[in-house]
Amino acid sequence: MSQRDYYEILGVSKSAANADLKKSFRRLAMKYHPDRNPDDQETEKLFKEAKEAYEVLSNSNKRAAYDQFGHAGVNQSAGSGFGGSGFGEAFSDIFGDIFGGSSRSSARKGADLQYNLELSLEDAAAGATVKIRIPTMKHCTSCAGSGAKQGSSPEICNTCGGHGQVRMQQGFFSVQQTCPKCRGSGTFINDPCNTCHGEGRVKEHKSLSVDVPAGVDNGDRIRLSGEGEAGEAGTPAGDLYVQIHVKPHPIFERDNADLYCEVPISIVTAALGGELEVPSLNGRLNLKIPPGTQTHKSFRMRGKGVKPVRGGPVGDLICRIVVETPIKLDAEQRDLLEMFGRSMGKAIKKHSPNERSWIDNMKKFFEDIKS
């Protein structure tokens, strides 16, 4: 327990009214509170002294005992933590000042909304401006969001006195809970607006233009500040988050900044080589196929992919070759292929090294089983 004079600690005279005590304690608490002065033992000590002094002087019985007997008159009761109601209220107010809050439950900011936007790969890569229409809540224009009929205004709640909280005393403990009448707002609408019925908000659909930046991908979100639902009692609206979903493309698959596409070619082109056109997001490109190209061979075309929305180099276009087996052959084509096969059989190691290697491995496999 501090042995300094309580009036001196608070910086007030012995005739100071409770309002002056509260004002002084508020100033000292905001100055010395530990959360504002972390790891500072000296300011923590000053805060505790101010708290102890106010706890005693704000209680009329303790103050009378202190004025008559000094510290000896309050040694048994001071510092118990269950001071008069004046201390609890002041401490609640002060904490609200320190942390930017209020002892009253403030009206809530409007809810955030999410809109799922489907885009083509082309629009996602190049960027686009898209019109969307969303259901939302907006501030009622009839009452300017107050909820009260035009010409009237919300009244101070007579149950909680505008605090938004009611206090119940249970022995030494004081329990605080949200006011059941005003639901924590501190005000009560006696004459509600005919348009919004006291809600302060009305439902509507609104149209917005969304600027989609170039390079967005699945899972990216675009935040539109203040385009969510209107808040209660005229408080700010929430935000709208536009979630990007890129539709499957018939030709390309995207992997970050790179694009992939499968390019089917005939066995003639694969064997003899050639040149063919392949698509890209920026137009047609020529792809050279060297002789003897195998299926699953990939060709990388630098800088023909997507530029990422968060910066970095443009990706590549990777063309994966798929050698297509001819179907529905006529008699002449079958004869030619059979003739071609007989000619290949004489030099399989030269013309089909992978096939020859596979055959050799298969033979060895069966020989090992027999042995």
Mean pLDDT of 14-26: 87
May I ask the CATH architecture of the domain 253-324?
Sandwich (2.60)
The structural domains of the chain, with segments of one domain joined by +, span 6-98, 113-154+189-246, 253-324, 342-370
Q: Which CATH number fits domain 6-98: 3.40.50.2300, 3.30.540.10, 3.40.640.10, 1.10.287.110?
A: 1.10.287.110
Is the pLDDT assigned to residue 309 strictly greater than 50? Answer: yes
Task: Report how far residue 127's alpha carbon sits from residue 119's, in angstroms, rounded to the nearest whole number.
Answer: 10
C-beta of residue 104 within 8 angstroms of C-beta of residue 163: yes
DSSP labels, 246-283: EPP-SS-EEETTEEEEEEEEEHHHHHH-EEEEEEETTE
C-beta of residue 232 within 8 angstroms of C-beta of residue 108: yes
Task: Report how far residue 371's alpha carbon sits from residue 367's, in angstroms, rounded to the nearest whole number.
Answer: 6
Q: What is the per-residue pLDDT for 3?
A: 75
At 197, list the tokens. Answer: 């019925």
CATH topology of domain 113-154+189-246: HSP40/DNAj peptide-binding domain (2.60.260)
Closest to 271 (Cα-Cα) out of 170, 153, 352: 352
Task: Report how far residue 85's alpha carbon sits from residue 99's, in angstroms, rounded to the nearest whole number.
Answer: 21
Q: How does residue 99 score in pLDDT terms, banded at 50, 70 and 90?
A: very low
Helix (H) or strand (E) holding 24: helix 18-32
Q: What is the per-residue pLDDT for 122?
A: 95
Is the pLDDT assigned to residue 82 strictly greater than 50? Answer: no
Averaged pLDDT score across all residues of the chain: 82
Q: What is the per-residue pLDDT for 103?
A: 42
Closest to 262 (Cα-Cα) out of 248, 284, 279, 274: 279
Give SS3 for 57: helix
Closest to 272 (Cα-Cα) out of 287, 286, 289: 289
Candidate from 244-253, 321-330, 344-353 with smallest mean pLDDT: 344-353
- Higher-scoring residue by pLDDT: 363, 309: 309
Task: Report how far residue 237's alpha carbon sits from residue 228's, in angstroms, rounded to the nearest whole number.
Answer: 6
Mean pLDDT of 10-25: 88
Could you read off the pLDDT of 36-63 as tens digits, one per residue? 777 788 888 888 888 888 888 888 888 8
Task: Report how far residue 48's alpha carbon sits from residue 35's, in angstroms, rounded to the nearest whole number.
Answer: 13
Is the pLDDT assigned to residue 366 strictly greater than 80? Answer: no
DSSP labels, 89-128: HHHHHHHHHHTT--SS-PPPPPPPEEEEEEE-HHHHHH-E
- Higher-scoring residue by pLDDT: 16, 1: 16
Task: Report how far residue 176's alpha carbon sits from residue 173's, in angstroms, rounded to the nearest whole number.
Answer: 10
C-beta of residue 280 within 8 angstroms of C-beta of residue 189: no
Kindly report the pTM of this predicted structure: 0.55
Q: Provide the angle, in degrees to the nearest 10, between the axes of the packed helices 85-98 and 18-32.
A: 40
C-beta of residue 190 within 8 angstroms of C-beta of residue 155: yes
- Higher-scoring residue by pLDDT: 157, 326: 326
Domain 113-154+189-246 and domain 253-324 have a common topology: yes
Helices (H) and strands (E) counted in the chain, each on its own, are 10, 15
Q: How does residue 245 score in pLDDT terms, banded at 50, 70 and 90?
A: very high
Could you read off the pLDDT of 156-208 as tens digits, one per residue? 888 887 777 887 766 555 677 888 777 777 777 878 888 888 878 888 888 99
Q: How does residue 140 score in pLDDT terms, banded at 50, 70 and 90?
A: confident
Strands 274-280 and 165-170: what pairing? unpaired
